[in-house]
Chains A and B, each alone.
Chain A
Amino acid sequence: MRRLRLASLPMYIAVGISAIYVLLPLLSAGEFSLRQPATHDYGFKHYIWFLELPDFAHYLLLSLGLALGAAAILLILLVPTAIWLNLGGQKLRGLVEFLTLLPLVIPVVALAIGAQTSLPEFAQTNEFILSFMYAILAMPYAYRTLDTGLKAVPLKTITEAARGLGASWIRTIIQVVTPIVRGTVLSALFMTLALSLGEFTLTSLLHWDTFTTWVTTMSQGNILGAIALSVFSLVSVFVLLMLIGLFVKPASNQLSTEEN
Chain B
Amino acid sequence: MSKSEATHLDRKGTPAWGALTGRLLGLFLGIAPLLVFMSVFFFWPLWNVLWTSFLGNEGEFTLGNYVLVFQEPYLSAFKNSIGLGLISAVTSSIPGAILAYLIESRGSERLRRLIASVSSVLANTGGIPLAFMFIAAFGMEGSATMFLKLLGWNIYAGDFTLFSFTGIVFVYTYFQIPMMVIVFSPAIHGIRNEWQEAARNLGATRFQFWRNVGLPLIFPSFIAAFLLLFASAFSAFATARAMSSGTIALVPLMIGNLVDGNVIVDSFNLGKALAMGMVIVSALAMIPYLIIQRRAARWQS
Residues of A participating in the B interface, judged by any CB pair closer than 8 Å? 7-8, 10-11, 14-15, 18, 22, 24-29, 31-32, 73, 76-78, 80-81, 84-85, 88-90, 92, 95-119, 132-133, 135-136, 148, 151-152, 156, 160, 190-191, 194-195, 197-198, 200-201, 204-205, 207, 212, 215-216, 219, 226-227, 229-231, 233-234, 237-238, 241-242, 245, 248-249, 260
Contacts and interface: CB of A to CB of B under 8 A. Distances in A.
Given A109-B278, A148-B301, A24 B42 contact: no
A136 B237 CA distance: 17
Given A25-B134, A26-B133, A219-B132, A201 B29 contact: no
Contacts of A28: 133, 136-137, 142-144
A224 to B, nearest CB: 10
Given A106-B279, A107-B252, 4 more contacts: A25-B144, A116-B259, A156-B6, A200-B127
Among B41, B113, B124, B129, the one with the most A-chain Cβ atoms within 10 Å of its Cβ is B129
Interface stretch (B69-77, B115-123, B152-160, B207-215): B115-123
B44 A15 contact: no
Nearest to A233: B129
Chain A interface mostly: helix
Contact of B45 (A22, A115, A151): A115
Contacts of A81: 29-31, 33-34
Contacts of A111: 42, 45-46
Nearest to B98: A14
Interface string B41-52: 110111111001
B26 to A, nearest CB: 5
B109 interface: yes
Given A132-B41, A190-B120, A198-B124, A107 B235 contact: yes
A85 B3 CA distance: 13
B139 to A, nearest CB: 9
Contacts of B283: 105-106
A230 B128 CA distance: 7
18 contacts: A11-B106, A22-B118, A25-B136, A76-B33, A80-B29, A89-B31, A95-B31, A96-B34, A101-B290, A109-B275, A110-B46, A110-B276, A110-B279, A113-B275, A136-B41, A215-B128, A226-B132, A248-B117
Contacts of B237: 108-109, 200-201
Nearest to B279: A110
B124 A15 contact: no
B102 interface: yes
Contacts of A89: 23, 26, 30-31
Contact of B10 (A14, A31, A88): A88
B124 to A, nearest CB: 5
Contact of B30 (A27, A73, A92): A92
A212 B256 CA distance: 16
A132 B38 CA distance: 10
Among B30, B35, B46, the one with the most A-chain Cβ atoms within 10 Å of its Cβ is B30
Given A113-B259, A117-B52, A234-B133, A194 B30 contact: no
A245 B107 contact: no
A11 B102 contact: yes
Interface in B279-301: 279, 282-283, 286-287, 290, 294, 301
A105 B287 contact: yes
B260 interface: yes
Among A95, A108, A230, the one with the most B-chain Cβ atoms within 10 Å of its Cβ is A230
A6 B296 CA distance: 32
Contacts of B117: 190, 241-242, 245, 248
Nearest to A239: B121
A109 B235 contact: yes
B286 A104 contact: yes
B161 interface: no
Contacts of B45: 111, 114-115, 117-119
Nearest to B285: A105
A160 B134 CA distance: 54
A249 B113 contact: yes
Given A24-B137, A109-B278, A242-B117, A198 B126 contact: yes
A234 B38 contact: no
A186 to B, nearest CB: 11
A109 B238 contact: no
Contacts of B129: 215, 229-231, 233-234
